[in-house]
Amino acid sequence: MYGPLWRLLPGPWPVKVILALVLVAGVVAVCFLWLFPAIAPHLPFNGNSVQTGLPLPGSAPLST
Amino acid sequence: MTALRWVVRTLGELFITLGLLVLLFVSWQLWWTDVTANREQAATIQTLEREFRPPALEHRAADPVADPLATLTKVPFGQAFAIIRIPRFGADYARPVLQGTDHDTLTQGIGHYSGTAFPGQVGNFAVAGHRTTYGKPFSNIDLLQKGDIIVVETKTRYLVYAVDRHVIVTPDQVEVIAPVPQQPGARPKQAWLTMTACHPRYSASQRYIVFARLLKAIPRAAGLPASFMTVPKGSVG
């Protein structure tokens, strides 16, 4: 998988190294900015509130 | 033979990649969310402080604040409307309170449970905050002791609460945010503040709950006495 990718990169090896680093940085950026924020709400360890699905006695939910 | 070798190598590379992605996710969750959330929340605090600043003297008399709750109850979902200061967490600890407790809101600060009382109101002003990640506003909630001061600052007033007690509950025990905490159905006679955060740290199996009672409501014009902002001895901040 990585072998063919390496061969695809043009130029002598120092250029290939730089291009590879740029690709890695791009993947990290996509993960940090879009992928991870999108999946985080669905993971089981991110709850901080008590369940508010039940109506609370003596309180009317405010319209949002 | 070479085909098998290719399959094994590619599988191995895939697994290594997946492992690296998981590590990357952990570093994002535990480190990067704090970096971005702290920056955003500090900016929100600055905006709120600007909004809360009283207008110039000549305009003030014309705009008496008859009902300090009137503007609060109209706060739209997701909007910041108050600042919480907790001397036990450090002299400069200040976090925004936003309307609502969904995932997005809680990444931007402390969330106010919709339908519960507003700051200073008789009933229960209930808020949720992250114990870890996303700026972790309630990281040290377990250090709060009876009598510790919690100041909620709104456009019109400083609401000074004193910590009463804490409990550890399961996430389905919503009675902690009832108008009288832990007494659903009871008629509230005083103003409470309830803070909820996850427990234990890095888990969401339980909730750490702190109850505080309103000590004093001070109009903004009167100013907040410095004694309330004294950092207690032995604090982390």
Q: Does B12 touch chain A (CB under 8 A)?
A: no
pLDDT at residue A53, as a whole number: 44
pLDDT at residue A64, as a whole number: 24
Chain A with chain B: Cβ pairs closer than 8 A:
107
Instruction: Scan for tokens 């969330």, then name that residue.
Output: B111
pLDDT at residue B22, as a whole number: 95
Amino acid B120 reads G
Which positions of B are annotated as active-site residues?
130, 198, 207
pLDDT at residue B65, as a whole number: 56
What is the interface pTM, i.e. ipTM, of the complex? 0.76
CB contact under 8 A, B131 and A48: yes
Average pLDDT over residues B135-146: 95
Of the listed ranges B6-10, B61-65, B155-159, B207-211, the least confidently predicted one is: B61-65
pLDDT at residue B73, as a whole number: 77
Mean per-residue pLDDT over chain A, rounded: 78
In angstroms, the separation between the Cα of residue A15 and the nearest Cα of chain B is: 23
Average pLDDT over residues B51-66: 63
Contact between B90 and B235 under an 8 Å Cβ cutoff? The reply is yes
pLDDT at residue B193, as a whole number: 97
Q: What are the tens digits of pLDDT across the range B96-138?
A: 999 999 889 999 999 999 999 999 999 999 999 999 999 999 9
Mean per-residue pLDDT over chain B, rounded: 90
Contact between B126 and B119 under an 8 Å Cβ cutoff? The reply is no
Distance CA B224, CA B52 (A): 13
Q: Find the CB nearest B178 among A28, A57, A61.
A: A57
pLDDT at residue B199, as a whole number: 87
CB contact under 8 A, B14 and A52: no
In B142-171, the residues whose Cβ lies within 8 Å of chain A are 169, 171
* Beta-bridge partner residues of B128: B111, B196
pLDDT at residue A47, as a whole number: 61
Q: Does A42 touch chain B (CB under 8 A)?
A: no
**What confidence tier does B66 reach under pLDDT thresholds 50, 70, 90?**
low
Q: Does B77 touch chain A (CB under 8 A)?
A: yes
**What confidence tier does B60 reach under pLDDT thresholds 50, 70, 90?**
low
**Between A53 and B141, residue with greater pLDDT:** B141
Distance CA B87, CA B102 (A): 27
pLDDT at residue B235, as a whole number: 73
